[in-house]
Amino acid sequence: MMVDRFGLLADGREVRRIVLGRPPGPVLHLLDLGATVHRLELTCGDGVRRNVVLGHATPEHYLASGDYLGATIGRYANRIAAGRFRLGGREVRLGAHDRGNHLHGGPDGFDRRMWSLLGHDDRHAVLALDSPDGDQGFPGALRAVVPFEVTDAGVRVWFEATTDATTVVNLTSHAYFNLNGSGTVDEHALQVFADSYTPVDASGIPLGWHAPVAGTPFDFRVAAALGPAVRSGDEQVARARGIDHNFVLRGSGPRLAAVLESRRTGTRLELRTDQPGLQVYTANFFDGSSRSAAGRLYRQGDGIALEPQLFPDSPNRPEFPSAVLEPGDVYRSALEWAFTTVAPGG
């Protein structure tokens, strides 16, 4: 375990890096800026150690890119239509900075905040953030606590939050994976344990129903390559320039939600969550304007974010699982990324 300086922000604040785990096991680099998963290094099935998540070289790159690489997203992951919703008989007004909607907690979301490091040891770190009443328009003072653990297989993350007034909360990790370390994820195979997904309008807001994945490019019930799906010509895919959709996960409670595999490097990721939805985002808007920590340009399809969360726009959709958090209650969610190796090649 090591804590060192990752870099400085323009205002002189220091961003720290927390390193957990040790080879030959997974090694996780976290940043206190955004409670960000900056690097996750593991031994792949071809015997090579690689970083399998996307990350930038400096704090300023994180703040400039707008891609939320590896960040902890809050208070509200995903979109809220027109940045408005009703809560306890009154209208809450947030900013609307993404095609007329609220996205990922607002222009100064949790991904841009300096989190406090509450404690750490060789395999664990606990990051916390106090978000004041009215932060980005959200009611209630919210305290978020996010413990990370590196295991022999991968990483576990817990998201906890409490509030002093009725509010909404939807926390997730925005880690993008690339099991080859670089290049596109077109040849990665994805499996998602979902029979339906949530079609959206041109601004990413749910049209109002879930649609069966059967017969669509969103059918990942059996593992399928990403490349053909993101080029399918389907209207929903075309609208998002790829996949940027909520999948309605089968079952409830902690369970296997998705499997991502690269035969090239013989690496397989199993994602477990207790959330009802999984936003799958194939880096559709990466355009070469931001860079990896190694200095390479990130281009469309260079990673895939698998974000467990509530369904989009839940505060305006009484039929969706509720995002409301009351004082005295604790928001809790847990996710796990477990890696195994498979025979490389093919």
**Which residues sit at the interface with ligand BGC, rule CB under 6 A?**
67-68, 204, 244, 279, 281, 285, 305, 307
Q: Closest CB to ligand BGC among 14 and 234?
A: 234
Q: Cβ of residue 168: shortest distance to ligand BGC, in angstroms?
A: 17
Shortest-Cβ-distance residue relative to ligand BGC? 281
How many angstroms separate the Cα of 332 from the Cα of each of 68, 128, 240, 329? 22, 14, 30, 10
Q: Closest CB to ligand BGC among 163 and 290?
A: 290
Are the CB atoms for 110 and 131 separated by under 8 Å?
A: yes
* Residue-by-residue DSSP string for 167-201: EE-B-EE--EE-TTSSS--TT-EEEE-EEEEE-B-
Among residues 149, 261, 270, 307, the one annotated as catalytic is 307
Sign of the torsion angle spanned by Cα atoms 25, 257, 267, 280: negative
Q: Cβ of residue 174: shortest distance to ligand BGC, in angstroms?
A: 6
Q: Cβ of residue 74: shortest distance to ligand BGC, in angstroms?
A: 13
Residue 174 among the catalytic residues = yes
Label residues 190-212 b or e (16+ Cβ within 10 Å = b).
Answer: bbbbbebbbbbeeebbbeeebbe
Among residues 174, 188, 210, 245, the one annotated as catalytic is 174
CB atoms within 10 A of CB 65: 15
Are the CB atoms for 328 and 166 separated by under 8 Å?
A: no
Distance, in Å, from the CA atom of 33 to the CA atom of 285, rounded to the nearest integer, reads 23
Distance, in Å, from the CA atom of 46 to the CA atom of 342, rounded to the nearest integer, reads 9
Q: Cβ of residue 245: shortest distance to ligand BGC, in angstroms?
A: 8
Q: Closest CB to ligand BGC among 287 and 329?
A: 287
Residue 91 among the catalytic residues = no
Instruction: Pinpoint the alpha helices (H) of the chain.
Output: 59-65, 226-230, 235-240
Q: Cβ of residue 307: shortest distance to ligand BGC, in angstroms?
A: 6
What HEC string does 115-138 produce? CEEEEECCCEEEEEEEECCCHHHC
Q: Closest CB to ligand BGC among 158 and 285?
A: 285
Q: Cβ of residue 236: shortest distance to ligand BGC, in angstroms?
A: 13
Identify whether 24 is preceded by a cis peptide bond (ω within 30 of 0): yes
Residue 109: partners with Cβ closer than 8 Å, 6 or more residues away: 73, 74, 75, 136
Q: Closest CB to ligand BGC among 231 and 239?
A: 239
* Catalytic residue ranges: 174, 307
